[in-house]
């Protein structure tokens, strides 16, 4: 583990929600935190000034995508991902385990790694734990992730068990292979599909390894909400107290509220950005479909309770007009608002945890928030 990286647990709320600070070579991250997804070295439709301005301190990029385009060697040659992209804050990279599962073609899992064809041009590639570590080292990120296998939902128990063992073997190979360049520290990913005993075993095994943080992978893969909650409930208590806990790919605002209460520190999800591009805005009352005819003459901002610069300057009528006219600006404005909403939710959660009032905060939020879009 690098000297630069440190996780300070500041306080724990009666619910189990945790308030902490992650120190990295590129700056501090106050937790619980939401990490905007910047797949291809940019958060879609947003400048880095925008990303800073919504309150993000760390962004996520994707090993799989950047390996295919523009290539890790090009990024290394240009000084690493920070210098290449112009984002000066901390960067975490997903290892590609999920993307080879969800995006790549002709995926063939072998003990050595995963053979796949690029979704861009069909070219064949082999991701091994060692290559994935090399890519992330070339990118020069602050938090690289171990290479894991993400099981589909549902999976047969025998497959899930074999897959988990493979993920554990790969986790050890990642630790051995990680060159530790540039102060980057490795997080492990626990799996176990939807088998309670495997989930427990994986959480314990991965936590026993010298990872700087522990992520929960393999959830939010299309399972029913109850399954998701049940697994989270099983796994969370097995995660070590003094390392950051990261729930990958989650989720809706109500999911974040729930998971923060179970002691999760880090989140990433494409929902605020992807749904914004499809005209869905998250608001304090619930999701709003900005294209809906009912907003054609509505002079109110998307969320009257929001203080972001979009809600300060933009009416629902104007936003609807931009979406109906297919203007890119609509996607930019909606994305900005949604990111602000997610980051502000985390900011308010942190405040509530600091005063031991997280249960009350979460009750109030959920009382106002109707998950049904309108």
Among 285, 294, 297, 364, binds a copy of itself (CB under 8 A): 297
Q: How far is the C-alpha of 34 from the C-alpha of 266, rounded, in Å?
A: 6
Residue 348 and residue 344: Cα distance in Å, rounded? Answer: 6
Report which DSSP code applies to 186: P
Rounded to the nearest whole angstrom, what is the least distance from the CB of residue 57 to a copy of itself in the complex?
A: 18
Among 122, 210, 222, 299, binds a copy of itself (CB under 8 A): 299
Q: Which residue out of 13, 50, 94, 303 is catalytically annotated?
A: 94
SS (H, E, C) 57-100: CCEEEEHHHHHHCCCHHHHHHCCCHHHHHCCCCCEEEECCHHHH
Spatial distance between the Cα atoms of 82 and 187, rounded to a whole number of angstroms:
19
By the rule CB under 8 A, 327 interacts with a copy of itself: yes
Determine which residue in the list 24, 314, 338, 362 makes contact with a copy of itself, applying CB under 8 A.
Answer: 314
Q: Contact with a copy of itself (CB under 8 A): which of 85, 95, 163, 202? A: 85
Other C-beta atoms lying within 10 Å of the C-beta of residue 310: 20
Nearer to a copy of itself, 215 or 330 (CB): 330
Task: State yes or no: residue 158 binds a copy of itself (CB under 8 A).
Answer: no
Which 33-62 residues touch a copy of itself, going by CB under 8 A? 40-42, 44-49
User: In this structure, how many other beta carbons lie within 10 angstroms of the beta carbon of residue 123?
Assistant: 9
Report in angstroms how near the CB of residue 136 gets to a copy of itself at its nearest.
18
CA distance 281 to 145: 30
Instruction: Supply angle C-alpha 48, 285, 277, rounded to 5.
Output: 40
Catalytic residue (choose from 138, 265, 268, 303): 268
Q: Per CB under 8 A, which region of 66-74, 105-113, 169-177, 185-193 contacts a copy of itself? A: 66-74
Residue 125: phi and psi, rounded to 5, are -140, 160
Work out which of 10, 27, 69, 294 binds a copy of itself, going by CB under 8 A. 69
Answer whether 61's CB lies under 8 Å from 143's CB. no
Q: Is 265 a catalytic residue?
A: no
Size of the site for a copy of itself (CB under 8 A): 37
Query: Should residue 286 be labelled a site residue for a copy of itself when binding is judged by CB under 8 A?
Result: no
Q: Which is nearer to a copy of itself, 46 or 167 (CB)?
A: 46
Q: Is 255 a catalytic residue?
A: no
Of 43 and 214, which CB lies nearer to a copy of itself in the complex structure? Answer: 43
Residue 251: cis peptide before it, omega within 30 degrees of 0: yes
Tokens read off for 126: 């082999």
8 Å CB contact between 267 and 296: no
Catalytic residues, by residue number, are 94, 268
Residues that bind a copy of itself (CB under 8 A): 40-42, 44-49, 69-70, 74, 77-79, 84-86, 296-297, 299, 309, 313-315, 317-318, 321-322, 324-325, 327-329, 331-333
């Amino acid at each position: 583990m690098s000297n630069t990286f440190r996780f300070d647990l500041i306080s724990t709320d009666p619910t189990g929600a945790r308030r902490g600070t992650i120190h990295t070579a590129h700056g501090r991250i106050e937790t619980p935190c939401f990490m905007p997804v910047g797949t291809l070295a940019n958060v879609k439709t947003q400048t880095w000034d925008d990303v800073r301005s919504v309150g993000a301190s760390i962004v996520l990029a994707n090993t799989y995508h950047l390996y295919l385009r523009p290539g890790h060697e090009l990024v290394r040659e240009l000084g690493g991902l920070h210098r290449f992209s112009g984002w000066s804050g901390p960067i975490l990279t997903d290892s590609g385990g999920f993307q080879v599962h969800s995006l790549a073609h002709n995926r063939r899992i072998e003990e050595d790694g995963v053979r796949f064809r690029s979704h861009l041009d069909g070219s064949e590639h082999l991701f091994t734990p060692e290559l994935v570590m090399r890519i992330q080292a070339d990118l020069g990120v602050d938090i690289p992730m171990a290479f894991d296998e993400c099981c589909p939902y549902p999976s047969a128990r025998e497959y899930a068990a074999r897959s988990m063992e493979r993920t554990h073997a790969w986790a050890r190979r990642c630790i051995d292979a990680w060159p530790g360049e540039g102060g980057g520290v490795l997080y492990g990913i626990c799996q176990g599909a939807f088998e309670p005993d495997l989930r427990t075993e994986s959480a314990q095994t991965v936590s026993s390894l010298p990872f700087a943080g522990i992520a929960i992978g393999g959830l939010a893969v299309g399972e029913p909400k109850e399954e998701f909650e049940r697994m989270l409930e099983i796994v969370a208590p097995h995660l070590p107290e003094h390392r950051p806990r990261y729930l990958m790919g989650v989720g809706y605002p109500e999911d974040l509220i729930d998971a923060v209460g179970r002691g999760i520190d880090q989140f990433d999800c494409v929902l605020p950005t992807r749904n914004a591009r499809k005209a869905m805005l998250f608001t304090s009352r619930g999701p709003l479909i900005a294209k809906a005819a009912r907003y054609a003459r509505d002079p109110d901002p998307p969320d009257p309770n929001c203080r972001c610069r979009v809600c300060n300057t933009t009416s629902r009528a104007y936003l609807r007009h931009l979406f109906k006219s297919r203007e890119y600006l609509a996607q930019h404005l909606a994305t900005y608002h949604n990111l602000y909403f997610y980051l502000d939710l985390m900011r308010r959660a942190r405040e509530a945890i600091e005063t031991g009032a997280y249960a009350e905060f979460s009750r109030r939020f959920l009382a106002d928030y109707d998950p049904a879009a309108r």
